[in-house]
Amino acid sequence: MIDYANNLPELIHNWIEEGKEIVEPNMVESWKDMVYNRAIGLYKGFEIECAISIIKSLNSGDRFEYANSILESQNHSGASYALTCNIVAKFSKRGTEFVKWIKASKKVVDPNNILESDLLRSLEEANKILLFTYNKLNNLTTDDYAKGGDKEIRDMIKEYLRLND
C-alpha cells in the first residue's frame, strides 16, 4: 500500500510525469494543476493514482466493464469514487462516455414507484457537497467540535441532501 501522506513530493512528480503520457497535450497544464490540488486534499492523491489506472485502461481500448472492474476494486468511499470519476471524465478521451456508462449501469427499479432512479448523483453535485463539507469542517475548531459544531454541519448537509433520519 502506498503511503500517500509521507511520499507526496515523489508521488506528485510521478503523477505529473504519468499525466504527460496519458492525457492530451493540451490538457497537461490542467493535469498538473489538478495533481497539485488533489495531492493536498483529503485523500492525499489516492484518487489520482486510481484515476491513472482507469485512464490507462480506457486509453488502451479496454471495455468499460473492465475499466469499471478496476474502479470497483479500488476500495473507494463515496467521495473518493466521485473524485476519481471526475478526474477520469475530465482527462480521458473516453472518460465522459465511461462515467455516463457507469451511471446508466447503476440504475435500479424502485418497487414502490416502478420508475428508474440513479444511485449516483451527478459528479458536479457530488463535488459541490464535498467542497461544502471540506470548507465547513476545515474551519471547525476543537472548541466548536466539542460544543457540537459538527452536528450543525451534518444537519446543514442533511438538509442540503434532503435526507431523513
Helix (H, G, I), strand (E, B) or coil at 129: helix
Mean pLDDT of the chain: 79
Three-state SS at 163:
coil
Domain total in the chain: 2
pLDDT tens per residue, range 69-81: 999 999 888 888 9
Q: Is residue 91 part of a domain?
A: yes
What residues make up the domain containing 138?
121-161
Q: Is residue 114 part of a domain?
A: no
88 and 127 fall within a common domain:
no
Give the model confidence (pLDDT) of 111-124 as tens digits: 444 333 343 445 55
122, HSE (Cβ side, Cα atoms, 13 Å):
3
Tracing cell 463515496 back to the chain, one arrives at 78
Chain centroid offset of residue 16 CA: 18
* Residue 118: all three cell numbers together: 440513479
